[in-house]
Amino acid sequence: AQSVTQPDIHITVSEGASLELRCNYSYGATPYLFWYVQSPGQGLQLLLKYFSGDTLVQGIKGFEAEFKRSQSSFNLRKPSVHWSDAAEYFCAVTNSGYALNFGKGTSLLVTP
Amino acid sequence: DTGVSQDPRHKITKRGQNVTFRCDPISEHNRLYWYRQTLGQGPEFLTYFQNEAQLEKSRLLSDRFSAERPKGSFSTLEIQRTEQGDSAMYLCASSSGVGNEQFFGPGTRLTVL
């Protein structure tokens, strides 16, 4: 069955520290891959996406993600976290091009 | 155009009542999607329209749920005979093509008492 797994439910990092959020997927072929962020009271906002080509993709707000086919992973990274990055992060996958399959999310807490 | 809008933002209803939500997509987007998000979970796909045609429905969309997109513009999602298990955030998104970014609205939070 097709699935998206975000192994970490909660992550706490200090402001200025680096961040990596994990995402693993189980699909028959390389799907389209996305990372979204959801802040309290806000809608989901796309951070970045991977369709093909360069496996390291750059997104908004200083985020990047690396697609690793051999590991079926699409991990999100940021070199230096800001307090405003505290939010819920969702990895999403589709091979149909329309119905996104979301992971359960990782809640990020940023400490001073 | 400022993005996808949804109305109402909050709805409290009693079990057994019918409710209807509206979504206005970004004007040039021909694809429209509905998702449901419960507490502590990621959004789950419900259905999708290309223009006025409903092309896909999830198994989550029981017979009590119906969605329309007349004239390929705004969409409505109706839930008949609401149940407490229907309590969730209902999200609408739109996009301009296959694999393209889906832009999400703020959602309608439904509480069924």
Model pLDDT for residues A8-58, shown as the tens digit of each residue: 999 999 999 999 999 999 987 778 999 999 998 788 999 999 988 889 999
Smallest Cα distance from A47 to chain B, Å: 10
Contacts of B24 in chain A (CB under 8 A): none
For residue A20, the cross-strand partners are: A77
Q: What is the pLDDT of residue A52?
A: 86
Q: Say whether A64 sits in a helix, a strand or coil.
A: strand
- Position A109 confidence tier, pLDDT thresholds 50, 70, 90: very high
Q: What is each CA distance from A89 to A8, A37, A77, in whole angstroms? A: 11, 5, 12
Best residue in A47, A49, A100, A107 for a mutation probing chain B (most B CBs within 10 Å): A100
pLDDT at A86 over 80: yes
Q: How far apart are CA B92 and CA B7, in angstroms?
A: 10
Say what the pLDDT of residue A17 is.
Answer: 97
**pLDDT at position B14:** 97
Residue A5 pLDDT level (bands cut at 50, 70, 90): very high
Candidates A99, A91, A111; CA nearest to A5 is A91
Phi/psi zone of residue A53: left (φ > 0), alpha (ψ -120 to 50 degrees), beta? left
- Does position A96 have pLDDT exceeding 90, yes or no? no
Put simply, the answer to whether A99 touches B43 (Cβ < 8 Å) is no
pLDDT digits (tens), chain B, 113 positions: 579 999 999 999 999 999 999 999 999 899 999 999 999 899 999 999 999 999 989 988 889 999 999 988 999 999 999 999 999 999 999 998 766 789 999 999 999 99
Structure tokens at B5: 């809008």
Cross-chain Cβ contact A43/B41 below 8 Å:
no
Nearest CA in chain A to B105: A43
More confidently predicted of A7 and A97: A7
A106 to chain B nearest CA, in Å?
A: 10
Q: Inter-chain contact B42–A103, Cβ cutoff 8 Å?
A: yes
B70 and A CB contact within 8 Å: no
Computed over every residue of chain A, the mean pLDDT equals: 93
